[in-house]
Amino acid sequence: MQGWAARVALALLASCGGESREPARSPSPAPVVAPAVPPAAAPPAQPVGQATEPETQPSAAPAPEPLPVTAKLARGTSSPADTALAAGDTAYDADDFATAEAKYREAAALAPKDAAAIVGLARVAIAKTKVATDFNSAPKNPVLERAANDLRRAIRLDPHFAPAQLELGRALLMLGSAEPALGALRKAIELSPRDPEAHSGLGVALLATGHPDEALGELARASELDPGSAARKTNLGTAFFMRGRVQDAVRAYEAAAQLKPDDPRTLGDLGTALLADNQLARAVAVLKRAVSLDPNRATLHSNLGYALEQARDLNGAVAEFREAIRLDEKLVSAWINLATALVQQGDRVEARKALERAQKIDPTDPRVRANMEELRELEKKQPAAAGHR
């Protein structure tokens, strides 16, 4: 099961800023926290300014396997209730939610005042919603709200049961209640200081509440505790990106890509960071690889289009922006990027149409207004030639 190892957010691009359909991330191209992002420890971050190429260590030991995202609820006492909990844990880890729910209910019937069974049932209920484990992914979701109430009840029964605190923090983050989540997640870390998922969850909550420096520490600690997790490295990379520490972000994303070389979202994040670090040729290559692995993700096409635009391949850029729009016609950044590429091709009429479409999608987006104003100023200074206005 995925938790906050999943990722904080993705880095998305727009010619004059960043935007995301996930939690968001700033210079141009802008980090948009999204979140993700999804998509976490790089080896202790080297000082910004050092080479961004990963060191080649052919004789290095293979990376450890990522740790389980969810802590076991069974305590190993071999009591009937604990045996049922263990069976529930096994089924839950295998995504067999029907069996997990049945076993956790059995445990609850055998030990009605045990917080563990309540936590298990809440976990199953949340997992069955298939809601992404992102900040504010399901505000006011009734299943999550009921699960949060059940988890509060579990905490009243056993305030020292770390999984209950962690699951409550996770549920509250998904509901968009970042501040209340902080207390639960800090308590989870106090009770279980070596749980990387608790550190990841707290890092996400800190990002959401405007504490990026503290969040960096928590996300770095999560990756340190779980060095085999690519997702935790991408989360750290996103946090670095949000702070403008682009070269540190590149290193974190490179470390993640070494663990998961065929993950398109990780490669998308790496490509975005490489663009911000002015490594244009590498960025284009990495983003092309990401698109080849996931051709149906609109944001990857838009980001590749931006990279091609920077490389002066305007025809290629326009094609990628149009493909992004075909896949997701509400992706504002793609419309803005398309407009800027069309202006460079001399097609101001179509550029204006693209900006008007972006404005219709999100009338409050300041980037659209800024680009519209630039287009008007350009038209005043350089009246369009007949037939190509």
Q: What is the mean pLDDT of residues 291-298?
A: 98
- The tens digit of pLDDT for each residue in 44-74 reads 333 223 333 333 444 556 778 888 888 899 9
- The tens digit of pLDDT for each residue in 190-211 reads 999 999 999 999 998 898 888 9
Q: Got the DSSP string for 13-69?
A: -BTTB---SSS----SSPP-----------SSPPPTTS--SPPP-TTSPPPPPPPPS
* Residue 220 scores a pLDDT above 60: yes
Name residue 53's amino acid.
E
Identify which of 4-8, 33-37, 62-66, 101-105 has the greatest average pLDDT: 101-105
Helix (H, G, I), strand (E, B) or coil at 385: strand
First vs last C-alpha separation in the chain: 53
Q: What's the CA dihedral at 235, 237, 243, 244 to 10 degrees? A: -150
**Rounded to an integer, what distance in angstroms lies between the CA atom of residue 343 and that of residue 384?**
11
- The tens digit of pLDDT for each residue in 122-166 reads 999 999 999 988 889 999 999 999 999 999 999 999 999 999 999
pLDDT > 90 in the chain, percent: 75
Alpha carbon separation from 382 to 205, 309, 343, 346, 385 (Å, rounded): 49, 22, 12, 11, 9
On average, the pLDDT of the chain sits at 85
| Per-residue confidence (pLDDT) for residue 132, from 0 to 100 | 86
Handedness of CA 299, 300, 306, 312 (dihedral sign): negative
| Per-residue confidence (pLDDT) for residue 384, from 0 to 100 | 59
Longest dimension (CA), the chain: 85
Domains and CATH numbers, the chain: 301-389 (1.25.40.10)
| Per-residue confidence (pLDDT) for residue 61, from 0 to 100 | 66
pLDDT > 70 in the chain, percent: 83
- Cis preceding-peptide flag for 35 (omega within 30 of 0): yes
* Residues contacting residue 379 through CB under 8 Å, at least 6 positions apart: 348
| Per-residue confidence (pLDDT) for residue 39, from 0 to 100 | 30
| Per-residue confidence (pLDDT) for residue 60, from 0 to 100 | 58
Per-residue pLDDT band for 2 (boundaries 50, 70, 90) equals low
Q: What is the mean pLDDT of residues 304-324?
A: 97
| Per-residue confidence (pLDDT) for residue 28, from 0 to 100 | 29
Residue in the structure block whose two tokens are 């109430």: 149
Q: What is the mean pLDDT of residues 207-233?
A: 93
**Rounded to an integer, what distance in angstroms lies between the CA atom of residue 206 and that of residue 214?**
7
**Rounded to an integer, what distance in angstroms lies between the CA atom of residue 200 and that of residue 356?**
40
Q: Are 222 and 251 in contact (CB under 8 A)?
A: no
**Rounded to an integer, what distance in angstroms lies between the CA atom of residue 259 and that of residue 231?**
9
Q: Which two tokens stand for residue 185?
A: 């997640």
| Per-residue confidence (pLDDT) for residue 265, from 0 to 100 | 94
Q: Are 27 and 284 in contact (CB under 8 A)?
A: no
| Residue 208 CB-density burial (10 A; 0-12 exposed, 13-18 middle, 19+ buried) | buried
| Per-residue confidence (pLDDT) for residue 209, from 0 to 100 | 86
- The tens digit of pLDDT for each residue in 317-371 reads 999 999 999 999 999 999 999 999 999 999 999 999 999 999 999 999 999 999 9
- Lowest-confidence segment of 4-13, 44-53, 70-79 by average pLDDT: 44-53
Q: Which two tokens stand for residue 199?
A: 């550190």
**Rounded to an integer, what distance in angstroms lies between the CA atom of residue 200 and that of residue 231?**
10
Per-residue pLDDT band for 11 (boundaries 50, 70, 90) equals very low
| Per-residue confidence (pLDDT) for residue 26, from 0 to 100 | 26
- Crossing angle for the helix pair 162-174 and 196-208, nearest 10 degrees? 30
- Between residues 217 and 27, the one the model is more confident about: 217
Per-residue pLDDT band for 91 (boundaries 50, 70, 90) equals very high
| Per-residue confidence (pLDDT) for residue 70, from 0 to 100 | 84
Q: What is the mean pLDDT of residues 248-266?
A: 97
What are phi and psi for residue 67, nearest 5 degrees? -75, 155
* Residue 307 scores a pLDDT above 80: yes
- In eight-state DSSP terms, residue 388 is B
